[in-house]
């Protein structure tokens, strides 16, 4: 079964610093990969997704992620954190041929002034 | 506006009672999903449906039931057999094809007293 590992349940950065949230998946075949953001007591919002068109994927709010097959990784980055980026971030994977998603446990991003 | 609605936002029930959570979408999506979210656990799939009158168990279906009588609606019943029902429940939908983005509702927080 597919699995997703997000390293670090909490990540703290200062406003203006680089954001790096890590995601590794287990599939041997390149899957579809997603990053979602969740604000407290709300649903999930798609940040970006990888569907094999390009290895560097740009999303909303200045986020981007790079698919690295050799490392089975799909890390999320943003050059400069903003206070409004404080939220929980989830990486998810879908195998080829399936519409269901397997989620990581999430990483809470804390942004300090 | 197209989207997914879940009601109610907050729900309180006594132990031993069944409770039904509502999920409606007007996105004309074929597939719908129910997830359970617990702190530090990510999202876990309860049930999903890819077509009207058909549904499949997810990873944690025990103690839950669903129906899909209409394309727009996918209600979830939390039965008294669910040992620990207090959680945040999220509904999602998509076109049902591999790689399709799942769109999420705002969630229902269920507390069993």
In which residue are the tokens 């009158």 written?
B53
Decide if pLDDT at A106 tops 90: yes
Would you give the DSSP letter of residue A29?
Answer: S
The more confident residue out of B2 and A61 is: A61
Identify the pLDDT of residue B58: 94
Q: What angle do CA A10, A15, A19 make, to 5 degrees?
A: 50
| Measured distance CA(B74)–CA(A30) in Å, rounded | 31
Of A5-14, A83-92, A96-105, give the lowest mean pLDDT range: A96-105
Q: Quick one: average pLDDT of B1-17?
A: 90
Q: Quick one: average pLDDT of B45-55?
A: 96
Local confidence band at B1 (pLDDT 50, 70, 90 cut-offs): low
Contact B40/A32, CB-based, under 8 Å? Answer: no
The more confident residue out of A82 and B80 is: A82
Decide if pLDDT at B25 tops 90: yes
Q: Quick one: average pLDDT of A52-61?
A: 90
User: With contacts defined as CB-CB under 8 Å, which chain A residues touch B4?
Assistant: 43
| Measured distance CA(B55)–CA(B75) in Å, rounded | 12
User: For chain B, which residues lie within 8 Å of any Cβ of chain A, measuring from their own Cβ?
Assistant: 4, 31, 33, 35, 40-45, 48, 50, 58, 88, 90, 92, 94-107, 109
The residues with which A24 forms a beta bridge, in sequence order, are A5, A73
Percent of chain B at pLDDT above 70?
98
The per-residue pLDDT for range A27-53, each reduced to its tens digit, is 777 789 999 999 998 999 999 999 877
């Amino acid at each position: 079964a597919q699995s997703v590992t997000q390293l670090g349940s909490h990540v703290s950065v200062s406003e203006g610093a680089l954001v790096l949230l890590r995601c590794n998946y287990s599939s041997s075949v390149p899957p579809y990969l997603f990053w979602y953001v969740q604000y407290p007591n709300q649903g999930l919002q798609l940040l970006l997704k990888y569907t094999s068109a390009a290895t560097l994927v740009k999303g909303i709010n200045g986020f981007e992620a790079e698919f690295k097959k050799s490392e089975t990784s799909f890390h999320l980055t943003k050059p400069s954190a903003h206070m409004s980026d404080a939220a929980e971030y989830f990486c998810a994977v879908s195998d080829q041929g399936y519409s269901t998603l397997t989620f990581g446990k999430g990483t809470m991003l804390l942004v300090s002034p | 506006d197209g989207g997914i609605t879940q009601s109610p936002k907050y729900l309180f029930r006594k132990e031993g009672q069944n409770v039904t959570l509502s999920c409606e979408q007007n996105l004309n999506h074929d597939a719908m999903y129910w997830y359970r979210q617990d702190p530090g656990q990510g999202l876990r799939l309860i049930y999903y449906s890819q077509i009207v009158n058909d549904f499949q168990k997810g990873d944690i279906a025990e103690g839950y039931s669903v129906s899909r009588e209409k394309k727009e609606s996918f209600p979830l019943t939390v039965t008294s057999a669910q040992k620990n029902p207090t959680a945040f429940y999220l509904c999602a939908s998509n076109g049902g094809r591999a790689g399709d983005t799942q769109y999420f509702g705002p969630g229902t927080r269920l507390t069993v007293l």
